[in-house]
A and B are shown apart, each in its own frame.
Chain A
Amino acid sequence: MVGFLLGRVQTYHRVEGRPDPIANAIQSTILPPAAGLQGMMSGVNHFFSGLGQTPALQRENEALRQRVADFKNFEAREKALQQQIDALRKLSKLPPEPDKTRIPARVIQFSPHEARMTLNVGSEKGIKPGMAVLQGDGLLGVISTVSSGESQLNLVTSTQVRVGGMIVKEAVAAGLVRGQGPDSLVLEFIEGTVKVDVGDIVITSGYSKQIPRGIPIGQVESFEKEISYGNRRARLVPMARVGSALEVYVLR
């Protein structure tokens, strides 16, 4: 009888659209501690599943430690190389980059066929089209498009890129550097008097607001004189190693 009455009370409240007081009271008493118990059981479960995965976790930990050690080695090597570059710059009497800030960036996409890379910095860092991108101290490319959080650069080896370049010796041999393929550049000289040797370093001429003078572009691999057109050109090996470009700098 009492059970039947309880059922009637329950049905009455449900029909009225109100919560059933009896079930509500029971649930309010039992469900909170049950939730606590479930949380505790979940913790115990995680503990035991963690014990079961110990060998795998140890292997993963070992691999991560190895990666940290590799990264530290890489950092130390990069620092040593940077010091070497600085020393070479002083020896070559290359001018520092005036009024420019190096914005570190990470390469997040590389399209070798289009000679284009995407960087993880964009307009929020003040990046603008035309800015130079360096790998180490060598010119890697020129920013072409910028959006928020990302920017794209055309590699210096891209046929779309033209950069003023020069060889500084006893006299200046200036010209225009353009890309000719994945690992080849050409410097077409404007003037035809200065002697050029294999091994000469070509730097940016600085006849641009955004690309300062003195950034190494490439090294002369061969030199030729086109008698029919009357101009001289040098084939260059780019200073930047495109295939290994992961961390770069944008000159802002």
Chain B
Amino acid sequence: MKATTYIFAVLIGLFVAGVLQASDRWFTVFGARPLFILVFVACMGMVNRPAWGAGAGFLAGIVEGSLAGANLTQYVTSRALTGFCVAWVRSTDLQFGVILAAIGTLLSTLGANAILMIFAPPADIGSFIRATIFSAMYNGVLAMPLFAVLQHFAKPTKV
């Protein structure tokens, strides 16, 4: 993916994901809230090199932390690490397909919120973990069409 295309895609993608996440009550299914921004970070990581994955995660952390009204350091760190890790896994010659993208997004959601939990332990850890698991499954489903679109428009680049 070219740098300009990448920046444009990240800005547009984060804007759309942010808008959807701020309206998440309409997308809540059986109590599971989708984390659109994390879905976007994971899918961007799957079609980009690690540095760009980390960059997308960094910006995603700013957006998500701002929307949550939380400390930006915790969100920026957890999302940037997630973006980097996903892109790094792809860089190890692992060929992501739609199913693998779903599983990868599920795991990256769990990982991102685990990192967030370490930086900022929530008051009710049990509820947080339960909500994260449901969100991770939801995110996995959402990642399939998004990854298919991103893969179509941005041919994954080799490192």
- B71 near A10 with CB under 8 A, answer yes
Give the distance in Å from the alpha carbon of A27 to the alpha carbon of B66 in the complex: 7
Interface residues of B in 110-131 (CB under 8 A from A): none
Size of interface on B: residues with Cβ below 8 Å to A: 23
Please name all residues of chain A whose beta carbon is closer than 8 Å to the beta carbon of B103 when the two chains form the complex. none
- B76 near A3 with CB under 8 A, answer yes
Q: Chain A: which residue is nearest B80 at the CB level?
A: A3
A148 contacts partner chain B, Cβ-Cβ < 8 Å: no
Please name all residues of chain B whose beta carbon is closer than 8 Å to the beta carbon of A25 when the two chains form the complex. 66
Give the distance in Å from the alpha carbon of A23 to the alpha carbon of B67 in the complex: 7
B151 contacts partner chain A, Cβ-Cβ < 8 Å: no
- B18 near A30 with CB under 8 A, answer yes
- Is chain A's interface secondary structure helix, strand, loop, or mixed overall? helix
B154 contacts partner chain A, Cβ-Cβ < 8 Å: no
B72 contacts partner chain A, Cβ-Cβ < 8 Å: yes
Interface residues of A in 23-66 (CB under 8 A from B): 23-27, 29-31, 33-34, 37-38, 41-42, 45
**Interface size band for A:** 20 to 34
Q: Chain B: which residue is nearest A44 at the CB level?
A: B26
Q: Name the distance in Å between B70's Cβ and chain A's nearest Cβ.
A: 9
B153 contacts partner chain A, Cβ-Cβ < 8 Å: no
Please name all residues of chain A whose beta carbon is closer than 8 Å to the beta carbon of B31 when the two chains form the complex. none
B47 contacts partner chain A, Cβ-Cβ < 8 Å: no
- A34 near B19 with CB under 8 A, answer yes
Please name all residues of chain B whose beta carbon is closer than 8 Å to the beta carbon of A3 when the two chains form the complex. 58, 61, 72-73, 76-77, 80
Please name all residues of chain B whose beta carbon is closer than 8 Å to the beta carbon of A31 when the two chains form the complex. 22, 67
Q: Chain A: which residue is nearest B61 at the CB level?
A: A3
Give the distance in Å from the alpha carbon of A25 to the alpha carbon of B62 in the complex: 11
- B22 near A26 with CB under 8 A, answer no
B65 contacts partner chain A, Cβ-Cβ < 8 Å: yes
Give the distance in Å from the alpha carbon of A104 to the alpha carbon of B61 in the complex: 69
Some 20 contacts from A to B, beta carbons below 8 A apart, are A2-B76, A3-B72, A3-B77, A7-B72, A7-B76, A8-B73, A11-B71, A22-B62, A23-B65, A26-B63, A26-B67, A27-B66, A27-B67, A30-B18, A31-B22, A37-B19, A38-B23, A38-B25, A41-B23, A42-B26
